[in-house]
Homo-oligomer: A and B are copies of this chain.
């Protein structure tokens, strides 16, 4: 967690706006689940994905553990069992219920988890009312961390749920979504000169600890595609035999493809009578060839790029290109819930929203990085191996939660996120 951001914004620690923001974020999480049955909320389709109910509870546990237990006078755990059940991976706090079994917890039920949320909400409100000046900064910083944490889980709640519903052969919709008819803009290339760039958190607003410290990187000249690769373009790769030519793939990628019998992006369905279809949060739909391709693993993204004679950008190249660009797009607030084509603006398009873009950079500490102090130091740093960085947010990333320096990260085989790619190239 990065707290120096608040030194420039002392008014941020005033209780009222904090309370307002807290309410907004918390309410959004519940709105995302209000159409779901108790059974829907308890589904867990793989160890990496958690039930919606668990997300509802865990985000509350975060506030309870790092704020109420620390700063609320005489606070006692709402339920000691929750401290075990809803601790994700904080060994500094205590042991955790086995991740792969989160779907086996029917009790507490959905209603009990909502009651837990109410209890934590009330506790936070009291805490904000009694903010002593000495703790104001610390508490405001942790609260902001908790809210960003909850926003991350809003996205995961939707992608985890999508993965679970996918296992139902009836392909049920999370929510009805409308038709999309936009056409992809022609692909353009933008060139960037060599030089020393600065990447990482610039000190304005919130950032996670993994975005710090801001530092210099030397870049060779590079080019970047104006928009992500589309479903239609990816289909060409498939039809050209991309999934059967090992020379296009990283060695680990080819092994993964063979072991998992991967022949299509996740959620694609090839139906004899219906043609290409795609499972979306709105149910099964005809594949939109104009929309950015999503649900690719890093392995598929690199195989496509190799086939196209290009490469993925590095994190620094992507971030340097994104600095100064408007941070908007098809994010969660548009409620589209799926990537879609966008008109060209003449510059870099769709950097934010639609799909997370795989970079060729492994998720490593920035020079001089040190994790936040205390148990929240486990938030990011301990995952800095075996993962690749993704940039830009997706159609289910909450608005306000994304920025050029934001570092998302997943193992190269992961594809249940809305993960796609944008091509890059060298300039000789």
- Residues on A lying within 8 angstroms of B by beta carbon are 37-43, 45, 53, 81, 84-85, 89, 91-92, 97, 101, 103-107, 109-110, 164-165, 167-170, 172, 196, 215-220, 246-247, 249-254, 298-299, 302, 311, 314, 360-362, 364-365, 367-368, 378, 382-386, 388, 412, 426
Contact = CB atoms under 8 A, between A and B. Distances in A.
A84 B169 contact: yes
Contacts of A105: 167-168
A368 B110 CA distance: 53
Contact of A298 (B106, B385, B426): B385
Contact of A365 (B106, B360, B385, B388): B360
A359 to B, nearest CB: 10
Contact of A220 (B106, B165, B172, B367): B367
A39 B106 contact: yes
B364 A250 contact: no
Contact of A246 (B91, B106, B164): B91
Given A169-B84, A247-B378, A362 B360 contact: no
Contact of A362 (B38, B298, B299, B364): B364
Contacts of A251: 89, 382-383
For A39, A385, A386, A388, the residue with the greatest tally of chain B CB atoms inside 10 Å of its CB is: A39
Contacts of A302: 385
- Indicate how many identical chains form the complex: 4
Given A106-B40, A172-B107, A386 B412 contact: yes
Contacts of A43: 103-104, 106
B247 A218 contact: no
A169 B97 CA distance: 8
Contacts of A299: 385
Nearest to A84: B169
A283 B367 CA distance: 42
A421 to B, nearest CB: 15
B218 A252 contact: no
Contacts of A220: 215, 367-368
A259 to B, nearest CB: 13
A217 B216 CA distance: 9
A140 to B, nearest CB: 26
Contacts of A254: 91
A426 B84 CA distance: 37
Closest 5 pairs (CB-CB, A-B)? A362-B362, A39-B106, A91-B246, A104-B167, A40-B106
A385 B106 contact: no
A104 B218 contact: no
A106, A254, A362, A383: residue with the most chain B Cβ atoms closer than 10 Å = A106
A165 B107 CA distance: 9
